[in-house]
Structure 1
Amino acid sequence: MPRRIPQLAAWVRSRPWREDRGDASIQMAIIYPFVLLLAVAVIQASMWYYAREIALTAAREGLSEARTYKAGPGDGIQRAREVLDRTAGDSLLNSSVSTAGSTGQRIRIQVSGTAQSMLPGVPGLRITQSASGTVERWTVPGE
């Protein structure tokens, strides 16, 4: 065993270290595109999530307005539009609000749009969020 240590030390001293020149540059050239791709994916996912939250907030606000006593689906659409105008900015593009699926006893507000894309020329992800609930109405106890 003691004989191997001097041999190892001699080998380390005799090794030409110039062979390693440029290794870090090559490693970075291989790894950097994956790191950049990961960063873009995280940012894109965050933008999608934020646009989704904006659409859900607008749908919930519209539902709250449409459910109130003597209000209608049009009031809910108007309120959802106001929320989108105030919060969406460039995060939720081509947004639309509808009350498809609503009945006399139940109201449904649906907000759709497209999340902004990080890559130019690539379409964003389509987002659809909805909220539904019963319409408030006066009832007589015992009926």
Structure 2
Amino acid sequence: MTGRSARRAVHRVAGAALQRTTARGADRGASPVELAVVMPVILVLLFASVQIAVWFVARSTALNAAQSAVNAQRVHQAPADAGARRATRFLRASGDWLVGWDRPGPSCQTGAAEVTCTVRGRSLSVIPLVSFAVVQTAHGTKERWTTP
């Protein structure tokens, strides 16, 4: 490269850099405006993900209560309301993840060979006016005497 072509290359690079800085000068303040537009979307996604996680915890709480009720109700010669009482005790101790579970309350049906318990409620609401229904059912075989 000769001295003349080297100077031309330096002038081209300097000119391109000057154009970039002057072009960027017209965009001053664009980042805060973009952030103001994008931030509500980010917050909605954040709260929606938290609401979904709360719904999963409420489902897990209801299922554990139903399983606990089945375990209490399937015992040989268990009282008719043993499962519902066990589920109620479990739900009172588990916190407010499941709301409205006490209306109508946990229910258990005992057949000749099987016990079925159901827990109903709604998940705790993180987003105002949003509530998801939760219904979980557990089944188990009833303990009974059989002949060999």
TMscore range, shorter length: 0.7 to 0.9
Letter in 2 for 1:85: R
Match of 1:138 in 2: 145
Q: TM-score, normalized by length of structure 2? A: 0.84
Structure 1: unaligned runs, 5 residues or longer: none
Q: CA deviation at 1:104?
A: 2.0
Q: For 1:98 and 1:23, how far apart are their aligned partners in 2?
A: 59
Q: What is the alpha-carbon root mean square deviation over aligned residues? A: 2.0
Output one character per residue of 1:63-110: Cα deviation in whole Å (capped at 9) or x when no partner: 0000111114411111011100110x221111021125x422111000
Q: CA deviation at 1:28?
A: 0.7
Matched, 1:119 2:109: no
Q: TM-score, normalized by length of structure 1? A: 0.86
Identity of aligned residues (%): 30
Q: Which runs of 4+ in 1 moved over 6 A?
A: none
> What secondary structure is seen at the aligned counterpart in 2 of 1:44?
helix
Of residues 14, 19, 31, the one that matches 1:9 is 14
Q: For 1:99 and 1:73, how far apart are their aligned partners in 2?
A: 9
Matched, 1:41 2:48: yes
Letter in 2 for 1:94: G
Give the conservation status (yes or no) of the 8 Å contact 1:50–1:91. yes
Q: For 1:13 and 1:31, how far apart are their aligned partners in 2?
A: 31
Instruction: Determine which structure has more spread, i.e. the larger CA radius of gyration.
Output: 2
* Matched positions, count: 138
Q: CA deviation at 1:6?
A: 3.3
Of residues 17, 25, 36, the one that matches 1:18 is 25
